[in-house]
Amino acid sequence: MCQDHGYFTKKLMSSLYLHIPFCRSKCRYCAFNSYSGQGHLFVRYIAALKRELSFLFSEYGGRPLDTVFFGGGTPTVLGAAGLVEILDHCQQLWGWSKQAEISTEANPETVSAADLILLRRGGFNRISFGVQSLSDHDLLSLGRAHSAARAIQALEDARQAGFDNINLDLMSGLHGQSLQDWRRVLTEALTLKPDHLSVYQLTPEEGTPYYDDVMAGRALVPEDDLSLAMDALTWEMCRQAGLAQYEVSNYAQSGKKCRHNVNYWLNSDSLAAGAGAVSFNGGQRARRLEDPAEYCQCVEAGHSPIVESEELDREASFRETVIVGLRMIEGIEIQSLQDRYGIDLPAYYGVVLTGLLAAGLVELAGGFLRITDQGRPLSNQILEKLV
């Protein structure tokens, strides 16, 4: 149930995440907070989201937003006009900084050429397509609601609409996928010349049909060797295509890193609104009601939809910033950690860090701590030592 325990410290933030928890259908592997068959809630949800945004603004005020990110779910199931209506509301409240990055996630089956024109004219300047594969066989087995041809068309329509910052999400490590299969998908994706590419290995999340398939032996997860070979192939092919890896799973053309996500990996403050959205402010993390109908009801009643909040003390927040930041290829800047937390990283980790350095798994260079190429396949073990 929602509680009226309100928002926290009034600190200025310039990053905003909006969660749209609806999808046209549910993919077999999906554990995100998303629901299909909820079209009857769309108008109500838009109104509730706008109301929460007004509430956030009245609590925090704040400077113009640097990044706005509509994620889901599939934001574009609300319709382009609905998204622009929400975005207009944000602009009236906060306005944008110069060069603000305004992104939405989209699934190919939910946007027509006309929708994409409306989104672009309505102020969105970055779009992230959930494509996952360009093999119809894979898409069918993942339970995706679009074909490869539809995905390609959506990307071409987005370019025509004037988007010059387009991300494609892809998944590797699908059941039965060989290195050659992955090479084919990646080759085709790179032929489309995306500005940004996110590549995640498919992982079985408990509670999903895909997880049940894996548990029952109907689907296989790739062996470690194959996963590593896929990662290495991704890195090399992206490099050749001019997409530099800047985070474990993300590659970008020059100047096209996702600034909203970089803010997240820096563990910086971010406003958030919408069902299930998580905000982070001054060491305090707050999560909202996940169920969209309950979320609407709560906001309509004038209550805060926050159901859970966690306060990290200075050291816990420091360690979390280190862990999240090491996902970035350039690593974390020691001085900025010192300035932010008053903690000297080498002294704090002491012999643990010395051991990792001696093993060549991490390095200190140019004022940054980063995981080395040698250490990258062992990232999880490294992070466990630092957490």
Q: Site residues (CB under 6 A) for ligand SF4?
A: 23, 26-27, 30, 32, 34, 72-74, 107, 130
Q: Whose Cβ is closer to ligand SF4: residue 72's or residue 305's?
A: 72
Question: Rg of the chain over CA atoms, in angstroms?
Answer: 21
Q: Whose Cβ is closer to ligand SF4: residue 38's or residue 284's?
A: 38
- 11: alpha, beta or left? (left if phi > 0; alpha if psi -120 to 50): beta
Smallest gap, in angstroms, from Cβ of residue 77 to ligand SF4? 9
Three-class SS state of 205: coil
Q: Alpha carbon of 44 to those of 12, 50, 345: distances in Å?
A: 29, 10, 48
Smallest gap, in angstroms, from Cβ of residue 45 to ligand SF4? 15
Smallest gap, in angstroms, from Cβ of residue 213 to ligand SF4? 16
Q: Whose Cβ is closer to ligand SF4: residue 27's or residue 170's?
A: 27
Q: Whose Cβ is closer to ligand SF4: residue 72's or residue 276's?
A: 72
Smallest gap, in angstroms, from Cβ of residue 232 to ligand SF4? 26
Per-residue DSSP letter, 35: B
Q: Whose Cβ is closer to ligand SF4: residue 23's or residue 243's?
A: 23
- Cα–Cα distance for residue pair 332/324, rounded to 1 Å: 9
Structure tokens belonging to residue 195: 């500005």
Q: Whose Cβ is closer to ligand SF4: residue 123's or residue 209's?
A: 209
Smallest gap, in angstroms, from Cβ of residue 231 to ligand SF4? 21
Contact 170, 198 (CB under 8 A): yes
Burial degree of 45 (CB within 10 A; 0-12, 13-18, 19+): buried
Smallest gap, in angstroms, from Cβ of residue 144 to ligand SF4? 7
Structure tokens belonging to residue 377: 């396949």
